[in-house]
Amino acid sequence: MDDRTLVDKLKTGDSAAFKHMVTTWQAMVYNTALGIVQKEEDAEDISQEVFVQVFQSVHTFKGESKFSTWLYRITITKSLDHERKKKRKKRFAFITSLFGDDNMEELQVPDFNHPGVELDKKEDAAILFKAISELPENQRIAFTLHKVESLSYQEVCDVMQTSISSVESLMHRARINLRKKLGEHYQNKR
């Protein structure tokens, strides 16, 4: 089913079209969310939120971009919103702990688990994804879309609604920052 047909059927509330969309795009949505939030449970929740939003707002899709580009935008927005909420909760937990609430749970860093990473490389992947998570937001998005999701610069440009030169610049700065972060990590391990 091509994008235009899919969107037309989704706009009519066709449940088979919705099932087809989820089946076709669920791995991409999940992996993109996981690349940003780096926690399986959160990526699963975000994936569900993405498909619910697509179903509810498909009537706003005008077809000016590819359906996958629109889906990536929604996934990134939901993932970044989730990250912002998580940071607010951490700040609140920190402030609460300053005022003596000993009942607060200690925030644990989850085990890293990404479906594209082999078992013997999980530790290195966890270090890399931690470094990616520390990149500035636009660099992190560009890097995740290009290197993790294998989108071309043009596709990244379409998703991020920016120019190719901006994507090239973001990727260049992301590589420099990652080299620095990873270099520091591995020097400290010696």
Does residue 62 share a domain with residue 133? no
Flag whether 54 is in a domain.
yes
Burial (CB < 10 A; 0-12, 13-18, 19+), residue 113, is middle
Written as one letter, the residue type at 125 is: A
Flag whether 97 is in a domain.
no
CATH code where residue 21 lies: 1.10.1740.10
Q: What is the pLDDT of residue 148?
A: 83
- Last residue of a domain, which of 83, 99, 124? 83
CATH code where residue 152 lies: 1.10.10.10
Residues 6-17 have a mean pLDDT of: 93
Flag whether 102 is in a domain.
no
Q: Which domain holds residue 137?
A: 111-190
Euclidean distance between CA atoms 140 and 63, whole angstroms: 27
Flag whether 91 is in a domain.
no
Q: What is the pLDDT of residue 106?
A: 38
Flag whether 90 is in a domain.
no
Q: What is the pLDDT of residue 161?
A: 93
Does residue 52 share a domain with residue 11? yes
**Which tokens is 129 given?**
């994804």
Calculated CA dihedral for residues 32, 35, 39, 44, nearest 10 degrees: 10
Number of domains within the chain: 2
Q: What is the pLDDT of residue 98?
A: 44
Entry pTM: 0.71
Q: What is the DSSP letter of 118?
A: -
Q: What is the pLDDT of residue 66?
A: 92
Flag whether 166 is in a domain.
yes
Flag whether 132 is in a domain.
yes
Q: Which residue has the higher pLDDT, 98 or 69?
A: 69
Computed over every residue of the chain, the mean pLDDT equals 83
